[in-house]
Amino acid sequence: MKPKVVITERLDESCAAWLAEHAEVVWHRFDEPGISEAIADADAVVVRTYTQVDAALLDAAPKLKVVGRAGVGLDNFDLEACKQRGVRVVYTPDANTQAVVEYVLGLMLDHVRPRTPLPDGADDETFHELRGTEVGVQLDTMTLGIVGFGRIGKKLGRVAHTLGMNVWACDILPETELRKAVDFPFEFKTHAELYAGSDIVTLHADGRAENRAMMDAAAFGAMKENVLFINAARGFLVDHAALSAWFNKHPDAKAMLDVHDPEPPPPDSPLHGLENVVLLPHLASRTDTALRNMSWVVRDVVAVLEGREPAYPAG
């Protein structure tokens, strides 16, 4: 008998086909009726971002041996509950690093380099008017502040340094540990120093409890009045009421938010209607390569089911 694996969210078709060679695969969305019955006899579950792997799910799946997270963060997991029940958790920690770095760089360029396409049949006046008004700022004149210097933060820092930017970083790890892991120059700053001196602040902190709402009124209040703030990490890292209040008072500043809490932003979110706050639909990791890389978590799921040690266990 093949083990039963329930997939609750989207998965790359080629990875799902590979999994089907090693297990009985059942597709059942996490938010559709009957999910408890579907996982009742499951040996494994493969999830992405929105399936909550908590005590309720674990109680509904007493045969469960492993849960695979096709992605990087484990914010939707109760890791302690999994540990207590002997359920292994596997994930894909480096699967989307390149995709997120490229995306954040694109947001930075969108901000500093305006590029309005010529309208059809544009005349001489329109052509030269656009050339006169669409004047940007070079990134190599700017300081990039990276909050959270993990895999994504480090790679983004390397790219920014290559482009000539001044790179500042703050992290929970000490400076000596961070310098061992990178081969480019950066300045290690406190949070307050980074906020006060950065032209662009980009958030890449992890989801630990003490980071919740870390970007609060004090954090925004320390920033430059024309700062670009980017969050492509986790929505709950930001106090959205504080962000809304500060950006409403500082029209020369801009925020680009790719992640939200909850998702999507509710109709009564204080972020709606602000001209200098751009809300994006969680696109940072949405490349074909990254999605496939994340979906290959199925290899570690099968490894656990076959009694082998997975390549990327959580914890």
Q: Which of 263, 286, 306, 308 is catalytic?
A: 263
Q: Which of 48, 234, 240, 260 is catalytic?
A: 234
* Integer Cα distance of 246 and 251 in angstroms: 9
- Give long-range contacts, CB 8 A cutoff, 24+ apart: 136-141: 136/112, 137/112, 137/113, 138/112, 138/164, 139/108, 139/109, 139/112, 139/163, 139/164, 139/165, 140/164, 140/165
Computed from CA positions of residues 98, 236, 211, 143, in that sequence, does the dihedral angle turn out positive or negative?
positive
282 is catalytic: yes
48 is catalytic: no
Amino acid, res. 182:
V
Asked if 68 and 46 touch (Cβ cutoff 8 Å), the reply is yes
The SS3 assignment for 159 reads helix
* Integer Cα distance of 239 and 273 in angstroms: 17
* Integer Cα distance of 52 and 38 in angstroms: 15
240 is catalytic: no
Residue 188, classified by CB atoms within 10 Å of its CB into exposed (0-12), middle (13-18) or buried (19+), is: middle
Computed from CA positions of residues 213, 215, 220, 221, in that sequence, does the dihedral angle turn out positive or negative?
positive
The SS3 assignment for 61 reads coil
The SS3 assignment for 5 reads strand
What token pair was written down for 238? 């930001």
State the catalytic residues. 234, 263, 282
